[in-house]
Structure 1
Amino acid sequence: MNRRLFLRNLAASGVGAYLGSRAFVRALEVADLSRVDVEKVWVREVPQILARIKPPVFPDRDFDLTRFGAVGDGRTDCTESFRRAIAACHRAGGGRVIVPAGTFLTGAIHLRSNVCLHLMPEATIRFSQDPQKYLPVVFTRWEGVELMNYSPFIYAFEQENIAITGEGTLDGQSDEEHWWPWKGGARAKSEGPNQIKDRNALFEMAERGVPVSRRVFGAGHYLRPQFIQPYRCKNVLIEGVTIRNSPMWEIHPVLCANVTVRGVKIISHGPNNDGCDPESCTDVLIENCFFDTGDDCIAIKSGRNADGRRLKMPCQNIIIRGCRMKDGHGGVTVGSEISGGVRNLFVEDCRLDSPNLDHALRVKNNAMRGGVLENLYFRNIEVGQVAHAVITIDFNYEEGEKGNFTPVVRNYVVQNLRSGRSQYALDIQGFRNAPIRDLYLEDCDFAGVAKPSIVKNVEGVTLRNVRINGRLVDRLA
């Protein structure tokens, strides 16, 4: 389906909340929050979101990958076997493509509607280190900007009812010699080619409004592919698998509706190795996952600068619960590619703990991105230790005030948070002409804090039973 048809179907389906939920948005705009107000929001809104998030169900048909010529010896190229098995499953009306025990080497895998890629225990899909295996280029999004680039390792475009499930492993085979050096800097063992020139060229094209069809990269360029990217898809499930060693972002649904990410384990410490980055998506559930990453564990996104404003699609109606975060830049992050905005984020019952985790709860924005970030709710959060701050809301990220677009954060609510060790409890920095508004903290206990909080340009702070190093505080200094 084309983009216009996809958006029309999204609105008609009832899951395109941005296209039909202005009353819902208004209901969350509370000027003077109380405990009762916050509880009403959780009780009223979260069940409505969950009622719309329904994982796809597949026909009881199995297509064993080995029947299509695949050999699980870790050496035989199984790319064509995956293509044939997925095509057969799709033609039959759907079912599961079964990856049995063994190690199956492949290039890009493209999912189709009504197909579940299911990895049995002891099954590994190992992705080729040869960039040519991810050509021809596909329509994708890279750091918040649309383009034609290398295919993500597992990709789907404008499909419905797709899944990746099972107890097996997805191995990206990225390391200091493959994919990661394209970042440049410390990851590069030599002064070889890297992404810097291409990254700048892509961003410049987006600012000039160059059509996406002419933003062609891929062969001869060095913009790393993502690991898993469903693009403009509906009814997506990713469940149970372990993901290792990605080129960059791991799970990256874009412009999708009805997405469930459940029970996934991600261990990948490469550059920009975010764990799960829903971008411009509606109705997303991320639950019971484990993240040990080289960048943000979870990052909510909605496009970068001019390209994000062109698409005008926020990320919204997102529930994150029962997740554990270890290493990373941020545990639950909003931004920085956030120009389309974000609204209605609910995070509960998560544990974050590592000396190599910089921030627990984080917002990254600036005057180049802009975007309205509102109705962000957190409760029952356990933080063992973080390296910088437990809660960071920063408008000075990267470009800071060097832009003409006003960043907005309003209605940021944290309840029942406990932390054990950090440099700062809070690092909250708005702009003088764009203060952070309506920050509500209740029943929060920040222990082992080394330095006074950083608080600049914040309006409308409510503190109820907030302690820092055992001392009850009634204002932020």
Structure 2
Amino acid sequence: MNNWVKATAVIGLMACSSGIAAQSKLPVILQTSFRKDSSYITRFGAVADGQTLNTQAINNAIDACNKKGGGVVVIPAGLWLTGPIVLKSNVNLHLKKGALLQFTKDFDQYPLVEGNWEGLPQMRNQSPISATNATNIAITGHGIIDGGGEAWRLVRKDKLTETQWKKWVAAGGVVSEDGKSWYPSEQWLKASKMKNPGEITPEKTPEFYKSIKDFLRPNLVVIAKCKKVLLEGVTFQNSAAWCLHPLMSEHLTVRNVTVLNPWFAQNGDGIDVESCKNVLIENSKFDVGDDGLCMKSGRDEAGRKRGMPTENVIIRDCQVYHAHGGFVIGSEMSGGARNMWISNCTFIGTDIGLRFKTTRGRGGIVENIFIDNIQMMDIPGEAILFDMYYMAQDPVALHGEKRELPKVETLPVTEATPQFRNFVIKNVVCNGAAKGIFIRGIPEMHVKDIHLENMVLNAEKGIDCQEASGITFKNITILSRQTNPVVDIINSDNLTFEKLGYKKDAELLFRVAGDRTKSINIKNTDASKAREKIQYEFGASEQNVTIK
């Protein structure tokens, strides 16, 4: 832990006893400020009839506001149909109560532009709302912004009822040969069979990108290379791909927003904070189709070359309902992620609660993550997951879906080897999960230096720790239904279990396996409640375990 303390001291941040930095020590996020001048979009010819395309009127209002030094562009109550909107410096786009900003499902209204998707430079359809190199911008109010995402997204039959599926197919589009997936168009289906078709490479022509345009779904809100950004009060929903995507931006505040996507929405993330610095997300709700609160920093070599970690992030008082993960880092974290404080959050029905994912080839270091006071219930997967074998699949397999375990082999350590290290996670209660804690590193780079403390985890299975070093489990109560074993350890070292609680009459308390397992320390734990204390397998022995 000494390396961690030194690292945080460099930037003037320190952890208090709860594992979350004292309020005065948190990073300072600069706030927006706007002139009081207000301009209504109706003055520029906008019509709230749900039929008139108001793209030009809204953009004209933003341009005029920017040119006179900034202020507030007001969208009053009503249903406003529009194409892409571009925010500019010193402009606050404000939605009044009853305002519904509906983005058109006419793909022709969205020109192809150079963008970024899943950490790689890619050609995309222009985002419904975007800003680039802007300073002091905001989207505020009490209205709703709808991205019309159902027109853009793939839908899998297994995720719908029979009635829903028939209705979806009847509306148009194309069904795959195996009858399991619906695509918006033949163009979309063709592109889906290619590898990274939207990636910008020298051999691809404008004609090629045009031929797969339908496939290149836009994120709903993209804020790129901006400073001082505020998203407050608004409901963002029904995105074609990710919903909120701040990219390479600084001083971002997200407050009191609601983000909604259908649970089956492909790539329907809530917020993806990518290569950003000084971020506050608070008092917000997410109910989406992919990860809820997700931290990223680019993918593989492109992300390492960019070299911009997501750092100095505060997340507090948020709720995540359906999502692949509640709070997530990765898997595109090749530029690194560090110095984050997550507190007082609730996850209900997320596939995984705390989800940290990566894979070989990413590279990047994730470190100095403080998490405190997390409540979870009805988690289909793991409550807490560190996984360095991420395979770009839904975290919970669909009924009848078969998945193979990854091949375990030791490879050389290179710049493409990812790292997870220096986490403190405290005060977690989970009522219902498939597994309490799952830590899975890779042989050449273990998950390292993780401190887990004060938890009650009610789950089908307990603790599974593979290829990990320097992990502390302190005052952890595992109420697992499967107790053979409660704790499974494979090829890990320097693990400490102190005050481990578990159900009486557990079949097996510890299974210790692997010839690389050593220095397992068990303290202040009553092993007499278990029918069998420890079982050794595959080269592990009593010499590897100390009981005090």
TM-score tier by shorter-chain length is: 0.7 to 0.9
Report matched runs for 1:175-214 at 5 Å.
175=150, 178-181=151-154, 188=182, 192-194=186-188, 195-197=191-193, 199-203=195-199
Aligned counterpart, 1:452:
462
Say if 1:260 and 1:428 are closer, same or farther in 2 by CA, change over 3 A: same
Aligned counterpart, 1:138:
113
**1:234 is aligned to 2:227:** yes
Say if 1:37 and 1:95 are closer, same or farther in 2 by CA, change over 3 A: closer
Instruction: Give the letter aligned to residue 500 of structure 2.
Output: V
Deviations 1:18-68 (CA, angstroms, capped at 9, x unpaired): xxxxx99843389xxxxx965386335x634442x1221100010100010
Instruction: Give the letter aligned to residue 239 of structure 1.
Output: E
Say if 1:211 and 1:250 are closer, same or farther in 2 by CA, change over 3 A: farther
Higher RCO (CA 8 Å, separation ≥ 6 residues) = 1
CA distance in 2, matches of 1:41, 1:380: 10
CA distance in 1, matches of 2:132, 2:455: 43
Instruction: Give the letter aligned to residue 248 of structure 2.
Output: L
Deviations 1:360-417 (CA, angstroms, capped at 9, x unpaired): 0001100021210001111010112200110011001018789962110001111111
CA distance in 2, matches of 1:38, 1:344: 14
Deviations 1:304-347 (CA, angstroms, capped at 9, x unpaired): 11211121111111111000010010000100111111001110
Deviation at 1:246, TM superposition (A): 0.6
Say if 1:216 and 1:165 are closer, same or farther in 2 by CA, change over 3 A: farther
Deviation at 1:90, TM superposition (A): 0.3
CA distance in 1, matches of 2:210, 2:273: 23
Instruction: Give the letter aligned to residue 37 of structure 2.
Output: R
CA distance in 2, matches of 1:378, 1:216: 45
State the TM-score, normalized to the length of structure 2: 0.75
Secondary structure of the structure 1 residue equivalent to 2:475:
strand
Aligned counterpart, 2:348:
353
**1:42 is aligned to 2:20:** yes
State the TM-score, normalized to the length of structure 1: 0.85
Instruction: Give the letter aligned to residue 148 of structure 2.
Output: Q
Q: Equivalent pairs: percent with the same residue? A: 35
Secondary structure of the structure 2 residue equivalent to 1:439:
strand
Say if 1:233 and 1:212 are closer, same or farther in 2 by CA, change over 3 A: farther
Aligned residues: 438
CA distance in 2, matches of 1:213, 1:344: 41
Aligned counterpart, 1:304:
299
Say if 1:240 and 1:310 are closer, same or farther in 2 by CA, change over 3 A: same
Report matched runs for 1:111-126 at 5 Å.
111-126=87-102
Instruction: Give the letter aligned to residue 7 of structure 2.
Output: A
**1:462 is aligned to 2:469:** no
**1:407 is aligned to 2:385:** no
Aligned-pair RMSD on alpha carbons?
2.8
Q: Check whether the contact 2:155–2:266 (CA below 8 A) recurs between aligned residues.
A: no
Aligned counterpart, 1:420:
431
Secondary structure of the structure 2 residue equivalent to 1:397:
coil
Secondary structure of the structure 2 residue equivalent to 1:360:
strand
Say if 1:153 and 1:54 are closer, same or farther in 2 by CA, change over 3 A: same
Secondary structure of the structure 2 residue equivalent to 1:295:
coil
Q: Check whether the contact 2:462–2:479 (CA below 8 A) recurs between aligned residues.
A: no
CA distance in 2, matches of 1:182, 1:375: 38
Greater share of helix residues, 1 or 2?
1
Deviations 1:211-252 (CA, angstroms, capped at 9, x unpaired): 999998466421110000010000111111112211010000
Deviations 1:50-87 (CA, angstroms, capped at 9, x unpaired): 42x12211000101000100001111000000111000
Deviation at 1:290, TM superposition (A): 0.6
Report matched runs for 1:378-397 at 5 Å.
378-397=371-390
Q: Check whether the contact 1:455–1:476 (CA below 8 A) recurs between aligned residues.
A: no
Instruction: Give the letter aligned to residue 418 of structure 1.
Output: V
Q: Check whether the contact 2:19–2:424 (CA below 8 A) recurs between aligned residues.
A: no
Instruction: Give the letter aligned to residue 8 of structure 2.
Output: L
CA distance in 2, matches of 1:266, 1:199: 30
Structure 1 unaligned spans of 5+:
1-22, 31-35
Deviates more, 1:449-458 or 1:213-222: 213-222
Say if 1:86 and 1:24 are closer, same or farther in 2 by CA, change over 3 A: farther
Report matched runs for 1:24-423 at 5 Å.
26-28=6-8, 38-39=16-17, 42-43=20-21, 47-51=24-28, 53-135=29-111, 137-175=112-150, 178-181=151-154, 188=182, 192-194=186-188, 195-197=191-193, 199-203=195-199, 217=209, 220-221=212-213, 222-269=215-262, 270-354=265-349, 357-398=350-391, 405-423=416-434
Deviation at 1:439, TM superposition (A): 1.0
Q: Check whether the contact 1:182–1:223 (CA below 8 A) recurs between aligned residues.
A: no
Structure 2 unaligned spans of 5+:
157-174, 393-405, 481-485, 487-498, 502-508, 512-548
CA distance in 1, matches of 2:143, 2:510: 47
Deviation at 1:198, TM superposition (A): 5.6
Aligned counterpart, 2:500:
473
Greater share of strand residues, 1 or 2?
2
CA distance in 2, matches of 1:24, 1:239: 33
Instruction: Give the letter aligned to residue 152 of structure 2.
Output: W
Q: Check whether the contact 2:198–2:216 (CA below 8 A) recurs between aligned residues.
A: no
CA distance in 2, matches of 1:215, 1:145: 20
Say if 1:114 and 1:336 are closer, same or farther in 2 by CA, change over 3 A: same
CA distance in 1, matches of 2:435, 2:346: 18
Secondary structure of the structure 1 residue equivalent to 2:217:
coil
Secondary structure of the structure 1 residue equivalent to 2:56:
helix
